[in-house]
């Protein structure tokens, strides 16, 4: 392979064809490998969330935008591990809609993949949250890390469901654009660079990622439930933070928004531009 072929990026049309082919492959992965890869992805995103939470601790003296920027850069770890390490992430798999739109997979295969991956992501995220809780990482910095974790979780309980859906849409537009851009790269460094700016942008802007929230919310709920003394001492108002509010006010509407943003605004749009057969080709 020539140096030019190794370095040059793929064209958008080639990227679309590659995403479509990947969708067919992903839809055919047997249950246990798919579920296992999904658990890994949930854990990887959770590790990015741990990194972002830790980076935000003690940064209150910095301007709001700078803190969010640093959190976003740290959170990139999660998707880098997913893409380079190899794992199955629900939000990124919204792009399977391109293979479905081309009739390369049926609706059952699409929904099967999304369901298994979503469940696996949840298991991986919650297990990681439990491990981080057992490790007592929230007590670091004289409890400041835990205080930040609790504040992050409380900020995600949106009483306005429409707002949560909109934040989910915007988030997964950027996540799927990051995944989309990685398909243009032919090197590991290229994939990492493709990830950094879109993912940093969604975190900095405060958009909502369902899989990340599978870590943030359970982790805070574990602190609240299993270490009430710490929760009380943090002086964070946790009244609104419950398992039901986490599900109804965040995870469900954010997941819906993530599907709309990734599958429709990115996947379906690029499919219609590059892969939909033109009437002139059919006639």
CA-CA distance, 194 to 109, in Å (whole number)?
28
What is the structure's pLDDT at 59?
A: 86
What pLDDT sits at residue 54? Answer: 98
pLDDT tier, 163 (very low <50, low <70, confident <90, very high otherwise): very high
pLDDT value, residue 277 = 73
Write down the CATH number for the domain with range 8-274: 1.20.1080.10
> CA 91 to CA 196: how far, in whole Å?
16
Considering only CA atoms, which of 211, 114, 120 is closest in space to residue 171?
211
pTM higher than the cut 0.85: yes
Q: What is the reported pLDDT for 211?
A: 98
What pLDDT, on a 0 to 100 scale, did the predictor assign at position 1?
A: 43
Fill in the DSSP letter of residue 106: -
d(CA 88, CA 38): 5
Mean pLDDT value across residues 107-133: 98
Contact status, residue 117 vs residue 23, Cβ threshold 8 Å: no
Each residue's pLDDT tens digit, 251-269: 999 999 999 999 999 999 9
For residue 96, how many C-alpha atoms fall within 13 Å in the half-sphere facing its CB?
A: 27
**Whole-angstrom Cα distance, residue 280 to residue 236?**
62
CB 253 within 8 A of CB 164: yes
Task: Delimit the domains of the chain by residue range.
Answer: 8-274
Res 2 pLDDT > 70: no
The residue with greater pLDDT, 279 or 172, is 172
């Amino acid at each position: 392979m020539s140096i030019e072929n190794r370095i040059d990026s793929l064209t958008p049309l080639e990227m679309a064809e590659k995403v479509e082919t990947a969708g067919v492959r992903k839809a055919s992965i047997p249950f246990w490998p798919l579920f296992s890869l999904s658990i890994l992805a949930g854990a990887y995103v959770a590790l990015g969330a741990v990194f972002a939470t830790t980076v935000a601790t003690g940064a209150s003296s910095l301007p709001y935008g700078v803190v969010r920027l640093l959190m976003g850069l740290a959170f990139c770890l999660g998707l880098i591990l997913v893409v380079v390490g190899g794992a199955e992430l629900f939000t990124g798999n919204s792009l399977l809609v391109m293979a479905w739109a081309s009739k390369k997979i049926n609706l059952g295969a699409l929904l099967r993949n999304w369901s298994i991956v979503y469940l696996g992501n949840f298991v991986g995220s919650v297990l990681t949250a439990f491990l981080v809780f057992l490790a007592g990482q929230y007590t670091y910095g004289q409890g400041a890390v835990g205080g930040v974790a609790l504040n992050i979780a409380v900020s995600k309980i949106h009483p306005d469901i429409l707002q949560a859906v909109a934040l989910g849409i915007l988030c997964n537009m950027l996540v799927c654009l990051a995944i989309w851009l990685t398909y243009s790269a032919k090197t590991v460094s290229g994939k990492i660079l493709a990830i950094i700016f879109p993912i940093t942008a969604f975190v900095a802007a405060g958009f909502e990622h369902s899989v990340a929230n599978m870590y943030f919310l359970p982790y805070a709920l574990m602190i609240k439930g299993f270490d009430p003394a710490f929760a009380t001492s943090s002086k964070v108002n946790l009244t609104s933070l419950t398992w039901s509010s986490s599900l109804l006010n965040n995870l469900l509407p954010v997941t819906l928004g993530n599907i709309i943003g990734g599958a429709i605004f990115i996947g379906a749009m690029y499919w219609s531009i590059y892969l939909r057969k033109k009437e002139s080709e059919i006639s």
